[in-house]
């Protein structure tokens, strides 16, 4: 790597991560004023957060929405990726283009359109509406992730399974799916993380449901307090833990599939 590229990478990392580091630093500051120099380090704001039932309820609500979003975005992403990378069919380019529409359309426009559509079909605002809308927005990301792995799988493996008498479902379950476990776990993680961070759609479709992102945004408009920083540190820590666990599980599956014993157990 040249010196110019290294410098550019360093500037980009500082630009991206310095605000997060400052936020985390003020979460441990022994003062209600978020100014330098720091008065000391304390866990007081995390104790305050532990007594804040509003934030706790908001976090539970966000998790209840994020779990089905993660599962649905990974499952639908798998179906869409298989359709987009499989045998050519009439309208495949249009199908791929429609998958990218939620990614290209501004979220405000998409959220208003979704709110109008759901009101016309009689779907009330709340958990189900949020889960459906967020899944639609996240689907292009998970589809791209899964498709990038699917196109690298040797199609002759499926042909060999069919020649040996396997049905299409058996070939999918025993040959294709084991090779996609890692990326499916990653797609689930991406769905959960993006759902937890979603704010624009939440503002239009939450109704009486109050996810954590909406509560934090509302509190931020009134007053910026250190316990808000503590909330973000906790969410960041949980997100990083989820990513590390998923990546560890994915690498373990890759190592297991690469060993003769692992291939034998999969075949059995």
Give the tens place of pLDDT for each residue, 16-42. Answer: 888 888 878 877 877 777 777 777 777
**Among 3-7, 30-34, 90-94, 140-144, the least confident range:** 30-34
State how far the Cα of 109 lies from the Cα of 226, in Å rounded to an integer. Answer: 33
Residues 168 and 232: beta-carbon distance below 8 Å:
no
Half-sphere exposure of 228 (CA within 13 A, CB side): 17
Q: Under DSSP, is residue 41 helix (H, G, I), strand (E, B) or coil?
A: strand
- Span 94-109, average pLDDT: 83
Express as a percent the part of the chain with pLDDT over 90. 9
pLDDT at residue number 88: 77
pLDDT at residue number 151: 87
End-to-end CA, the chain: 46
- Span 80-98, average pLDDT: 83
Confidence of residue 98 (pLDDT cuts 50, 70, 90): confident
pLDDT at residue number 74: 92
| 234, β-bridge pairs | none
Q: Is the pLDDT of residue 264 over 50?
A: no
pLDDT at residue number 265: 46
pTM over 0.75: yes
Element (H, E) at 138: helix 127-150
Give the tens place of pLDDT for each residue, 210-245. Answer: 888 888 888 777 777 777 778 878 888 888 888 888
pLDDT at residue number 70: 92
266 to each of 166, 176, 215, how far by Cα in Å? 15, 11, 46
pLDDT at residue number 69: 93
Q: Is the pLDDT of residue 191 over 80?
A: yes
- Span 246-266, average pLDDT: 63
Q: Which domains does the chain have, with CATH numbers?
A: 1-42 (no CATH), 52-267 (1.10.3720.10)
Q: Is the pLDDT of residue 192 over 70?
A: yes
Phi-psi region of 82 (alpha: psi -120 to 50; beta: other; left: phi over 0): alpha
Q: Is the pLDDT of residue 262 over 60?
A: no
Q: Is the pLDDT of residue 102 over 90?
A: no
Q: What are the backbone dihedrals phi and psi of residue 29, each rounded to the nearest 5 degrees, phi first? A: -75, 135
pLDDT at residue number 160: 82
State how far the Cα of 78 lies from the Cα of 82, in Å rounded to an integer. Answer: 6
pLDDT at residue number 86: 77
Q: Which of 56, 17, 61, 62 is nearest to 231 (CA)?
A: 56
Give the tens place of pLDDT for each residue, 133-185. Answer: 899 889 999 999 899 888 888 778 877 888 778 787 888 888 888 888 888 88
Q: Which of 245, 241, 232, 242 is nearest to 59 (CA)?
A: 232
């Amino acid at each position: 790597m040249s010196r110019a590229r290294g410098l550019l990478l360093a500037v980009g990392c500082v630009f991206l991560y310095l605000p997060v580091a400052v936020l985390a630093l003020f979460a441990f500051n022994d003062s209600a004023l978020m100014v330098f120099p720091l008065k000391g380090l304390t866990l007081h704001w995390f104790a305050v957060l532990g007594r804040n039932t509003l934030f706790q309820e908001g976090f539970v609500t966000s998790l209840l929405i994020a779990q089905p979003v993660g599962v649905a975005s990974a499952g639908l992403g798998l179906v869409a990726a298989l359709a987009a990378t499989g045998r050519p069919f009439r309208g495949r380019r249009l199908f791929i283009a429609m998958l990218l529409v939620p990614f290209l359309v501004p979220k405000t426009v998409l959220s208003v359109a979704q709110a109008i559509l759901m009101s016309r079909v009689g779907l009330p605002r709340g958990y189900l509406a949020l889960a459906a809308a967020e899944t639609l927005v996240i689907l292009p990301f998970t589809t791209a992730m899964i498709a990038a792995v699917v196109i690298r799988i040797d199609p002759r493996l499926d042909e060999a399974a069919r020649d040996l008498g396997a049905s299409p479902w058996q070939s999918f379950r025993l040959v294709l799916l084991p090779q996609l476990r890692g990326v499916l776990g990653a797609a689930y993680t991406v769905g959960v993380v993006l759902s937890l961070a979603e704010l624009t759609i939440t503002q239009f479709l939450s109704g009486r449901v109050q996810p954590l992102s909406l509560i934090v945004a509302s509190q931020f408009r009134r007053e910026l307090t250190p316990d808000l920083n503590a909330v973000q540190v906790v969410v960041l820590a949980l997100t990083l833990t989820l990513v590390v666990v998923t990546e560890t599980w994915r690498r373990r599956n890759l190592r297991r599939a690469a060993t003769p014993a692992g291939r034998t157990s999969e075949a059995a």
